[in-house]
Amino acid sequence: MGLLMLSKAELSPESLSHVLEQSTDCVKLVDPQGNLLWMNPNGLCAMEIDDFEQLNGKEWANLWPQQAQPMIRSALEGARSAGVVRLEAFCPTAKGTPRWWEVSLSAVRTPDGAHAGYISISRDVSQLHADREALKVLLAEMRHRLKNSFAMVCAMLRTVARGDAANTAFATDMVARISALATAQTLFDGETEQSDLQDLLSTLLLPFRKAQGMQVDLDCAPNQQIDRREADVISLVVGELTVNSTKHGAIGHGGSIALRAAVEGDATGSRHTIVWEEQSAQPVSATSRAGGQGLSLIERICTARGGTFGIDWQERGLVATLSLPQNL
């Protein structure tokens, strides 16, 4: 057989078959009843299957671990009605090698629209899954160490201030601020995947609401659910804004802060919009600092989460706006 050249004019069933066979992903054809019909060579290699005839005609769902089988059968039903279903699940190879797979399952239809079966494309994401799990463990350990550090600093402050009225007042104020940060970390303890936005913002602002010469207002309706990723971004943004305000703005020099949060909708979907409006008792002297990395980090992480962040500088303060896609 001569060299097969792909071009628009040569997209024959034979050429498309060669493309599927050479795909680096595991490509499978499944009949309308959910039974395996075909698997490409690279898929057989990835699944460590020596002979496809051992699986030919068998129910695809039964080849997955028992706990994953209901999800696979549900995905088949979903693809039949919705067209495409994506999922991620664990399934060892035929030789027992543990693997995680990202699966795209699409319904196949005849020219007259009748259901003819499915095409499944599976990609080995074992390393990605392992990296994610390692990151979760690392973050949990960091939160644990951070809470311990908060507790240790609070204890040191109380010890140093003991017996001195002036230092006691300072220590009490600092302990309240540090404790609020520690409390924010506990909103996602254990397996909790969601928290209330009002609770998070209230906790982050609590230490500054009683600061002398400060007015801090929060306008946020209850029952606005956020996940860990959203909370991390929001905590980072509010934390950076409070640090900057302590050094250069209203928290450090007196003034007011108004924090508003709401869910807004547009053509791209629903978004959490958080607005920090700050007015300081003294004029703004600079809007950037050489070597400053905080705002740059905020912009990067917002972009990575599909959000936006912007600052409108004013004579005596700023208006900072954070917008994040709402995870429904």
pLDDT single digits (tens) 160-194: 888 787 788 778 767 766 766 666 666 665 555 67
Tell me what the pLDDT averaged over the chain comes to. 82
* Predicted pLDDT of residue 209: 73
pTM for this structure? 0.53
In whole angstroms, how far apart are CA 260 and each of 170, 195, 212, 232, 325?
29, 18, 22, 18, 16
Cβ within 8 Å of residue 259, ≥6 positions away:
201, 205, 216, 217, 218, 219, 220, 238, 274, 275, 276, 277
Torsion of CA 13, 14, 20, 24, to 10 degrees: -150
Is residue 275's pLDDT more than 90? yes
Average pLDDT of 288-312? 75
Highest mean pLDDT out of 287-291, 296-300, 309-313: 309-313
For residue 286, the SS3 value is coil
Is residue 228's pLDDT more than 80? no
* Predicted pLDDT of residue 322: 94
Whole-number Å distance between alpha carbons of 133 and 270:
29
Residue position matching structure tokens 């896609």: 325
Task: For Cα atoms 257, 235, 220, give the angle at the middle one, nearest 5 degrees.
Answer: 50
**Residue predicted with more confidence, 197 or 151:** 197
**Residue predicted with more confidence, 243 or 197:** 197
**Residue predicted with more confidence, 14 or 242:** 242
Least confident piece of the model among 6-15, 125-134, 193-202: 6-15
Average pLDDT of 38-50? 89
pLDDT classification of 86: cutoffs 50, 70, 90: very high
* Predicted pLDDT of residue 285: 77
Tell me what percent of the residues of the chain surpass a pLDDT of 90: 30
* Predicted pLDDT of residue 2: 43
pLDDT classification of 230: cutoffs 50, 70, 90: confident
Least confident piece of the model among 4-8, 180-184, 259-263: 4-8
Residue position matching structure tokens 């994040």: 324
